[in-house]
Structure 1
Amino acid sequence: MRAEAPPTGAAEEGELVRGWLRGTVGGLPAVYWYLWAGLLINRVGGFAVLYLSLYLTAERGAGSALAGLVVGTYGIGGVAGTLAGGVLTDRWGRRATLLAAHLACSAVLVALAVSSPLPVIAGLCLLLGLTQAMPGPAFVAAITDTVPAGHRLRAFNLQFWAFNLGTAGASLLAGLLARWSYLGLFLIDAASTLVTALLIAWKVPETLGGAGRSGPATGGMRTVLADRIFLAFVGLTLLQALLSSQTNTIVPLAMHGDGLGPGAYGLVTALGGALIVLGQLFVPKVIDGRRKDRVLALSMVVMAAGFAVLTVADSLPAYLAAAAVWTVGGMLAAPPNAAINSELAPPLLRGRYQAVFYLSFPAASFVAPALGGAGLEAFGAGHWAVVAAVGMVAAALHLAAGPARERRVAEAPRPAPERPAA
């Protein structure tokens, strides 16, 4: 008996789904997916740092102030690790840097699990920040090496999605594991980091070209710091990061001032994470074929609109609406930001360029609370009008800087596609 053919409508829907999948995840090389999987595993398992301060106060007897100082060493290590990771990515290679960083990080997490003296823990926190920040430039440089230019926008969009999906998973697991055992928290984090290292060792070849392995790249960090077009782009990324940092530093204070508790802020952050996880995969279809400077300008306008809502927000629904708007702006910005960074960086300096680019985020996390707290205290709800104005200025500057970036990319020599070394 012959099986009946599916209805035309169902067949069309199936073809639409397959077409969407091809347009979203198709055409990317196998090495990219191993890098993507390693990043996701590492983020899902990277929950120990989320509970460092609670671990210090609950298990090691530190006061709140001392715990804050100890955890602060993690941030210092992160800045150093970002710079070191960028330099080593170009000197040692992408694969070697990823392996060294993950293996060292796994050892540091085991040491943290069994250490008691607070000075030792502070030193290990610094090393943890260093070893967890080092892989960032190497991951992005390897993706840029591996993925053809025409597919990088989708590749970086999927990377951003995996990062947020993994962070959401880590937050859920951390709460469960912390109730069970802080020792288990650190050891499982160490195990997931080791699994990532083994995956990279097994499946990810060195993607840096043969010329890059022969010695240091010409010019080194001096070339990066003399690149005005790139530094202008980093400056604009810093403005975006300053806006994004408001959401986890100043927004909770504003909500508290409006009589909303931690549970309400938890709903706001959960909404942002859910929107990214559910909607980020559709972003490439929306922005594909459009000029990156215009997409970034639009993203800044959307983010500014979200913060403008806070000038009149005094209830949870208003804060949720604002969060939905600024999250969409951030979702639009992530793929073109990474793509522009990969286009502007010379192949032999990709690690260093990534390191300087990534420094805009810790810089924003330091500047945003200081300026934002003072602004909220001085202007009240008017602070959000200032934040929205910064977003509009950033949008205008993206449109002004975009043509020079486009010319730079168009005039750059186009080398033959690189093949990863065996």
Structure 2
Amino acid sequence: MRTVRNWFRDTTGGLPRPFWYLWTGTLVNRLGSFVLIFIAIYLTRERGFSDAQAGLVLGLWGAGGAVGTTVGGILADRWGRRPTLLTAHLGAATMMLALGLARPLWAIGAGALLLGMFAEAARPAFGAMMVDVVPEADRLRAFSLNYWAINLGFACAAVLAGLAAEAGYLLLFVVDAATTLVTALIIFTRVRETRRATTPTGGTSGRAPTGAWRTILTDRVFLGFVVLNLFGALVFLQHVSMLPITMGDSGLSPATYGSVIALNGVLIVVGQLFVPRLIRGRNRSQVLALAAVVMGVGFGLTAFAEAAWFYGLTVLIWTVGEMLNSPSNATLIAELSPDELRGRYQGMFSLSWQVAGAAAPVLGGLVREHAGNATLWLGCAVVGGLVGVAHLVSGPARERRAARIRPAAEPVIPVTAVRPPAPAVAEAAVTAPAAPVPAP
């Protein structure tokens, strides 16, 4: 028992108070993430759209996210992390309700485009703020804990959304909007700006230098990593678009899909806290390569699934790859990002997810429609294997680059970064991290 307690203290202890407020916002937001889980089923079954039309709407969501994450990265560096987060969350809540009330295809498409833009504008600001407040030595733990919160919320949301969908799909949109507003309230009341202000003497200000985007677009090491993430995301995001449709073709209900996909969150909740110790000190490129291969195998096996238990097995396999991939990705992006360009680098990395979010449902729908279900999922396995090989080849250059930039990338935590919380909250968040106060 003492060993478990010491392990838990090593995993969660010593992290700064602002991190726990961000962690809380992540958990609350994900507890209500109903719409993303069931949007494909909602569009095809409730609204009667074809697979191609559903893919188009999801593609518009991703296209809006691509715009949002780019603008969000710029605003996070220029305007600040906090106002960007607040604006993004308030806009996302509004558009969530509008999307739930929309009926014609053009209105649903427009709502999805705007929702993606607002929702994903928060991602680079949130990522930059996390790097701002957490010292480099603690980032692997911090990102793992945040990912744990994401998936705890996701697991609960997947099950609850299946039940809520039986009561009426509009309820999914209402609850999702409400939790987004609660997240905005947490940020507004507890988190202050973490971007460094301009100094009178012209010192480091946190303000991006002239030619910031030129710097990023000529950073071949970083862009190579972004491209690899894009291809990995094209595989991973099939669980949002094509997996529910595939399971529906196997005669399985939306509630069954919710239960199966909840296994993803359950496994991460149970196992993610062990991942930092498992991968600490290991070659990061090898970890990322292994993660890509395991995810590819998991999605590839979907080609042979018919029963719910087999679908559940495939989810468990690719979830292991996801668990290895996420903290390694997050820490590497933090190390590759110059301090004054942190928001933009986070935005460019998030852009790869948004491009994948726009392309994955469209490509998945086209491949599935014209080449068949098996070709789609076996193709995912091939892409996963190729990404794994590419990580092994490109990894040494990334690590050399991270080693050069690391001394200049240490975060500066403002003394007044957060308003002092109530004593009970402070006690739970700081001195008893084993049960702490709980981000296109």
| TM score, norm. by length of structure 1 | 0.82
1:395 equivalent among 367, 388, 396: 388
Question: Deviations for 1:48-69, whole angstroms, at most 9, x for unmatched residues?
Answer: 555668888999xx65369846
2:400 equivalent among 400, 407, 422: 407
Distance 1:157 1:338 in 2: 9
1:330 equivalent among 304, 322, 338: 322
List runs of 5+ in structure 2 lacking aligned partners: 199-203, 417-440
Q: 1:99 to 1:248 in 2, by over 3 A?
A: closer
Q: Aligned Cα RMSD in Å?
A: 3.5
Q: 1:372 to 1:81 in 2, by over 3 A?
A: closer
Does residue 64 of structure 1 match 2:49? yes
Pairing of 1:2-401 with structure 2 (within 5 A): 13=1, 15-48=2-35, 64=49, 68=54, 73-109=60-96, 123-178=110-165, 185-211=172-198, 215-251=207-243, 259=250, 261-262=252-253, 265-266=257-258, 268-307=260-299, 309-310=301-302, 316-372=308-364, 378=371, 381=374, 384-401=377-394
Indicate the SS of the match to 1:64. Answer: coil
Distance 1:45 1:274 in 2: 16
Report deviation, 1:135.
Answer: 0.9
Amino acid at match of 1:418: V
Report deviation, 1:112.
Answer: 6.0
Given that 2:96 and 2:176 are in contact with CA atoms closer than 8 Å, whether structure 1 keeps it comes out as yes
Report deviation, 1:404.
Answer: 0.8
Larger mean Cα displacement after TM superposition, 309-318 or 163-172:
309-318
Aligned counterpart, 1:418: 412
The number of aligned residues is 406
Distance 1:106 1:317 in 2: 35
Identity in percent: 47
Given that 2:91 and 2:118 are in contact with CA atoms closer than 8 Å, whether structure 1 keeps it comes out as yes
Distance 2:48 2:308 in 1: 33
Distance 2:161 2:252 in 1: 22
Report deviation, 1:228.
Answer: 0.4
List runs of 5+ in structure 1 lacking aligned partners: 1-12
Report deviation, 1:308.
Answer: 5.1
Given that 2:58 and 2:358 are in contact with CA atoms closer than 8 Å, whether structure 1 keeps it comes out as no
Indicate the SS of the match to 1:134. Answer: helix
Structure with more relative contact order (C-alpha pairs < 8 Å, separation 6 or more)? 2
Question: Deviations for 1:374-407, whole angstroms, at most 9, x for unmatched residues?
Answer: 6565477466554333222222211111111111
Report deviation, 1:39.
Answer: 1.5
Given that 2:62 and 2:355 are in contact with CA atoms closer than 8 Å, whether structure 1 keeps it comes out as no
Given that 1:93 and 1:213 are in contact with CA atoms closer than 8 Å, whether structure 2 keeps it comes out as no
Given that 2:158 and 2:259 are in contact with CA atoms closer than 8 Å, whether structure 1 keeps it comes out as no
Report deviation, 1:366.
Answer: 3.9
Amino acid at match of 1:414: P
Report deviation, 1:254.
Answer: 5.8
Larger Rg belongs to: 1
Amino acid at match of 2:315: A
Amino acid at match of 2:337: A
Question: Deviations for 1:143-202, whole angstroms, at most 9, x for unmatched residues?
Answer: 011111111111111122212222233334444545556666545444332322222122
Q: 1:372 to 1:103 in 2, by over 3 A?
A: closer
Distance 2:251 2:38 in 1: 24
Report deviation, 1:104.
Answer: 3.0
Q: 1:386 to 1:31 in 2, by over 3 A?
A: same
Amino acid at match of 2:66: V
Question: Deviations for 1:55-105, whole angstroms, at most 9, x for unmatched residues?
Answer: 88999xx65369846666433322221111111111111112112222333
Question: Deviations for 1:210-265, whole angstroms, at most 9, x for unmatched residues?
Answer: 247675443222221211001110111122212213444455566677x5534665
Given that 1:42 and 1:193 are in contact with CA atoms closer than 8 Å, whether structure 2 keeps it comes out as yes
Given that 2:252 and 2:308 are in contact with CA atoms closer than 8 Å, whether structure 1 keeps it comes out as no
Q: 1:246 to 1:124 in 2, by over 3 A?
A: closer
Distance 2:175 2:260 in 1: 29
Amino acid at match of 2:237: S
Q: 1:105 to 1:323 in 2, by over 3 A?
A: closer
Larger mean Cα displacement after TM superposition, 383-392 or 147-156:
383-392
Report deviation, 1:331.
Answer: 1.0
Given that 2:61 and 2:112 are in contact with CA atoms closer than 8 Å, whether structure 1 keeps it comes out as yes
Given that 1:90 and 1:217 are in contact with CA atoms closer than 8 Å, whether structure 2 keeps it comes out as no
Larger mean Cα displacement after TM superposition, 82-91 or 43-52:
43-52
Distance 2:365 2:411 in 1: 49
Distance 1:99 1:58 in 2: 34
Question: Deviations for 1:88-128, whole angstroms, at most 9, x for unmatched residues?
Answer: 11111111211222233344456667788886665444332
| TM score, norm. by length of structure 2 | 0.79
Amino acid at match of 1:340: L
Given that 2:158 and 2:262 are in contact with CA atoms closer than 8 Å, whether structure 1 keeps it comes out as no
